[in-house]
């Protein structure tokens, strides 16, 4: 054979690689993430810096890193009120493993739960990039922002829809939103997306007394930090994960297994009039 097997194998691998990545390179005794050996990262960077580096491929500035940390902390927990937490705890009570219970919680993030962050980010990012009719192209001046906010509010109102990121099921004034905005101003992270969100809030509050919620605030801030809207749920999951884990742990340590969240006689059967049917009548063939 004129050419070694190994040579051909290597040629094949180079010309037709099955797995490509820019995130982490693995060699014996060497783990290099986004260009940094991991042993240099451990102890030297914070968790939010690590997450930012992994996702965006570069280290954040100190201010951006502090801002991103505040965003993550703000998502930490909302008690036993969200369906995701209830799901994780119910699963914990059947003896499912920690990672199964956590997955159940994460899979509970649907259109009506935790979906507002991404929708809000998407709206802000599209508006900032494209503007609206009459204000085409990227938003620039403060004047633009106010005008666009007005058009947005009108459009949602005319369609009888809620603007994601504003108003809350439990809180008329979400204490997390105003704190986040204050921090964004402190760190200078209140860019055009955050300004747009605030402009929308101003109009909404005047007309309907509705205020920005945690999702609206974080949608503006994360967009200004340069996160693509499709990463919204990802960021939310990072923030919420410790809370879900603590609920699963609490459930497993204080509650009896297979616990009942209601009594059997609390179930309402909707066709109570139906008598027990005879199968024989239906199935002639047997």
Of residues 60-99, which lie at the interface with its own copies (CB under 8 A)?
A: 62, 66, 69-70, 72-74, 76-81, 83-84, 86-87, 90-91, 93-99
Smallest gap, in angstroms, from Cβ of residue 148 to its own copies?
Answer: 28
Using the minimum distance from each CB to its own copies, give the nearer residue, 131 or 220.
Answer: 220
| Per CB under 8 A, 257 contacts its own copies | yes
Q: What phi-psi label fits residue 228: left (phi over 0), alpha (psi between -120 and 50 degrees) or beta?
A: beta
Size of the site for its own copies (CB under 8 A): 142
Nearer to its own copies, 17 or 137 (CB): 17
Q: What's the Cα-to-Cα distance from 48 to each of 63, 68, 70, 142, rounded to whole Å? A: 12, 6, 9, 31
The residue written with tokens 């879900």 in the block is 244
> How many Å apart are CA 165 and CA 157, to the nearest integer?
15
Cα–Cα dist 226/126, whole Å:
13
- Tell me whether residue 133 or residue 282 sits nearer to its own copies (CB atom): 282
Among 147, 151, 203, 245, binds its own copies (CB under 8 A): 245
Q: For residue 7, give both structure tokens.
A: 């040579």
Please select the residue that binds its own copies; options are 18, 133, 160, 161, rule is CB under 8 A: 18
Residue 270 found at the interface with its own copies (CB under 8 A): yes
Q: List phi, psi (to 5°) of 112.
A: -95, 0
Which is nearer to its own copies, 133 or 279 (by Cβ)?
Answer: 279
Bridge partner residues of 212 (DSSP): 166
Binding mask of the shown chain, residues 146 to 185, with x at each position contacting its own copies by CB under 8 A: -----------------------xxxxxxxx-xxx-xx--
Told to check if 122 binds its own copies by CB under 8 A, we report: no
From the list 116, 117, 102, 109, the residue with the least C-alpha distance to 82 is 109
CB of residue 144 to its own copies, shortest distance in Å: 29
Query: By C-beta, is 11 or 207 nearer to its own copies?
Result: 11
Of residues 100 through 119, those in contact with its own copies by CB under 8 A are: 100-104, 106-115
Using CB under 8 A as the binding rule, the residues of this chain from 220 to 239 that contact its own copies are 228, 230-231, 233-234, 237-238
Q: Which helix (H) or strand (E) holds 6?
A: helix 5-15
Find the binding residues for its own copies in span 200-219 (CB under 8 A).
none
Least separation in angstroms between residue 263's CB and its own copies is 8
Q: Within 131-265, where are the H helices?
A: 142-158, 175-187, 192-208, 214-224, 232-254
- Part of the chain binding its own copies (CB under 8 A), chosen from 3-11, 122-130, 140-148, 149-157: 3-11
- Tell the smallest beta-carbon distance from residue 131 to its own copies (Å): 25
Question: Binding to its own copies (CB under 8 A): which residues in 27-56?
Answer: 28-48, 50-51, 54-55
CA distance 150 to 204: 9
Contact 116, 162 (CB under 8 A): no
Instruction: State the sign of the Cα–Cα–Cα–Cα dihedral 167, 168, 171, 173.
Output: negative
The order of strands in the sheet holding 24-27 is 24-27, 30-33, 36-37
């Amino acid at each position: 054979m004129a050419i070694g097997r190994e040579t051909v194998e290597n040629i094949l691998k180079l010309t037709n690689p099955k797995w490509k990545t820019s995130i982490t390179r693995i060699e014996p005794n060497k783990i290099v993430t986004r260009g940094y050996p991991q042993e240099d990262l451990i102890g030297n960077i914070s968790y939010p810096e690590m997450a930012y580096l992994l996702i965006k491929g570069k280290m954040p500035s100190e201010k951006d890193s502090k801002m991103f940390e505040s965003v993550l902390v703000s998502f930490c927990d909302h008690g036993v009120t969200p369906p995701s937490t209830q799901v994780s705890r119910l699963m914990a009570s059947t003896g499912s493993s920690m990672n199964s219970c956590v997955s159940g919680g994460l899979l509970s993030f649907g259109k009506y739960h935790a979906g507002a962050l991404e929708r809000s980010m998407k709206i802000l990012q599209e508006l900032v990039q494209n503007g609206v009719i009459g204000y085409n192209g990227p938003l620039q001046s403060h004047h633009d922002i106010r005008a666009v906010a007005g058009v947005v509010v009108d459009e949602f109102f005319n369609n009888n829809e809620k603007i994601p990121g504003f108003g809350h099921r439990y809180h008329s004034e979400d204490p997390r939103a105003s704190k986040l905005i204050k921090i964004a101003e402190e760190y200078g992270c209140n860019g055009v997306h955050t300004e747009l969100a605030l402009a929308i809030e101003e109009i909404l509050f005047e007309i309907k007394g509705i205020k920005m919620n945690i999702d609206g605030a974080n949608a503006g801030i994360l967009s200004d930090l340069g996160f693509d809207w499709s990463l919204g749920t990802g960021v939310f999951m990072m923030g919420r994960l410790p809370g879900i884990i603590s609920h699963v742990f609490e459930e497993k340590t204080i509650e009896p297994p297979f616990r009942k969240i209601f009594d059997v006689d609390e179930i309402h059967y909707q066709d109570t009039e139906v008598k027990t049917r005879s199968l024989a009548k239906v199935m002639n063939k047997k």
